Structure 1
Amino acid sequence: MKLYIKNMVCSRCIMVVKTELEKLGLQPLDVQLGEVELAQGANITSSLDQIEAALHKFGFELLTDKKKQLTEQIKTAIIELVHYPAEALKINLSDYLSGRLHLEYAHLSTVFSDTEHNTIEKFFIQQKIEKVKELLTYGEQSLSEIAYLLNYSSVAHLSTQFKKVCGVTPSVYKAGQFSGRKPLDEV
């Protein structure tokens, strides 16, 4: 049986969810960002309220609505793509999501927009900008290296998009005159 959980964005989230489920006597077979696989005969119907309460303490939400579950899967796929890439981000987003979730992109886009009141593309851009903020904060890479890593066509394109989302240029942000990183679950 699968549980879908909102606001899981990092490996610490996985650890917390796994620990909380184990405290409730459930033995998760697999815990990934946004999803938990429980053993096939696990009777959790009587435990759903307990699971919900345990997860809620840490800012997680148990998702039972199919559209919200799919939306969370889309968000998780984008977060993994942007924040935990295996290589430079050189992939067509619609192809990536369709292949990963085995659904037509038009359907994914409609469900996401209906649920989030935002487009997949805007969410993707917001995630990329949060990654840019993170990389600028560390100061280990130049803006042109960051632009390449996140598949921007140029530094100018990255800077324009950054300013549109944040209201300041990457240079102003890096100089420390602006703060505003958001937790991934709030983007």
Structure 2
Amino acid sequence: MVSLRCKMIVKQELQNIGLHYVNVDLGTIEILENIGDHQREQLSKNLKTFGLELLDDKRKILIEKIKAVIIEMIHYTDELPKVNYSDYISEKLGYDYTYLANTFSEVKGITIQQYIIINKIERVKELLLYDELNLTEISYQLHYSSVAHLSNQFKKITGLTPSFFKKLKKKRFENIEDL
């Protein structure tokens, strides 16, 4: 899992600059000592080499936490939660959903629901490429009300039908194999 790798990198970089951590978790680091400007700059520079960013802005941190919960929920769990997404995200992060939704929209320019849909469609693409589940099974797994609803959302986001997307990807793989 990506987040485990990130945690390991962050822990190593904290040790490299002489900081002792209590906890490294989803978007947060708890350290024992006060961090100086030089150490903060060094940590930020070191993390950037791994594609990670040190965030100081509380709103940006909250947005990253929201995104991480959504990505984990859609991409890294076998079954989506039975409760609605707003309750799930609110419970996971310990904030009122209205506050989370307003903050997310203000910073990202899209709603949490739109971000969820985008990620669900990305997951549909992955599952179509794995070719282990048919569209009905994918629809059920991702809690779509029907295959038609999934197909409509897929086409709205990608401009393609799920079946055309699958054919297109298979054709590309065949062309690559022919090289």
TM-score range, shorter chain: 0.7 to 0.9
In the TM superposition, 1:1-150 aligns within 5 A as: 10-38=3-31, 41-46=32-37, 47-85=39-77, 87-150=79-142
Please report the TM-score for the alignment, with normalisation by the length of structure 1: 0.81
Q: Distance in 1 between matches of 2:95 and 2:80?
A: 24
Per-residue deviation, 1:178 = 8.9
The answer to which structure has the higher helix fraction is 2
The answer to which structure has the higher strand fraction is 1
Greater shift, 112-121 or 19-28, is seen at: 19-28
Please report the TM-score for the alignment, with normalisation by the length of structure 2: 0.84
Instruction: Describe the superposition over 1:35-71 as per-residue Cα deviations: whole angstroms up to 9, x where unpaired.
Output: 3333xx2232331101110111122111111111111
Root mean square deviation of aligned Cα: 2.2
Relative to structure 1, is the Cα distance of residues 32 and 131 closer, same or farther in structure 2, using a 3 angstrom cutoff?
farther
Contact 1:9 1:76 in 2 (8 A): no
Q: Distance in 2 between matches of 1:134 and 1:14?
A: 25
Count of residue correspondences: 170
Contact 1:137 1:174 in 2 (8 A): yes
**1:185 matched to which residue of 2?**
none
Q: Distance in 1 between matches of 2:2 and 2:83?
A: 21
Per-residue deviation, 1:86 = 5.1
Q: Distance in 2 between matches of 1:172 and 1:52?
A: 43
Q: Distance in 2 between matches of 1:88 and 1:109?
A: 20
Per-residue deviation, 1:9 = 5.3
Per-residue deviation, 1:89 = 4.1
Contact 1:9 1:33 in 2 (8 A): no
Identity rate of aligned residues, in percent?
A: 49
Structure 1: 4+ residue segments shifted above 6 A? none
Q: Distance in 1 between matches of 2:36 and 2:170?
A: 47
One-letter amino acid of the counterpart of residue 122, structure 1: Q
Q: Which runs of 5+ in 2 are unaligned?
A: 172-179
- Give the structure with higher Rg (CA): 2
Relative to structure 1, is the Cα distance of residues 86 and 37 closer, same or farther in structure 2, using a 3 angstrom cutoff?
farther
Q: Distance in 1 between matches of 2:163 and 2:153?
A: 13
3-state SS of paired residue (1:103): coil
Per-residue deviation, 1:173 = 1.4
**2:145 matched to which residue of 1?**
153
One-letter amino acid of the counterpart of residue 54, structure 1: N
In the TM superposition, 1:163-182 aligns within 5 A as: 163-177=155-169
Q: Distance in 2 between matches of 1:109 and 1:89?
A: 19
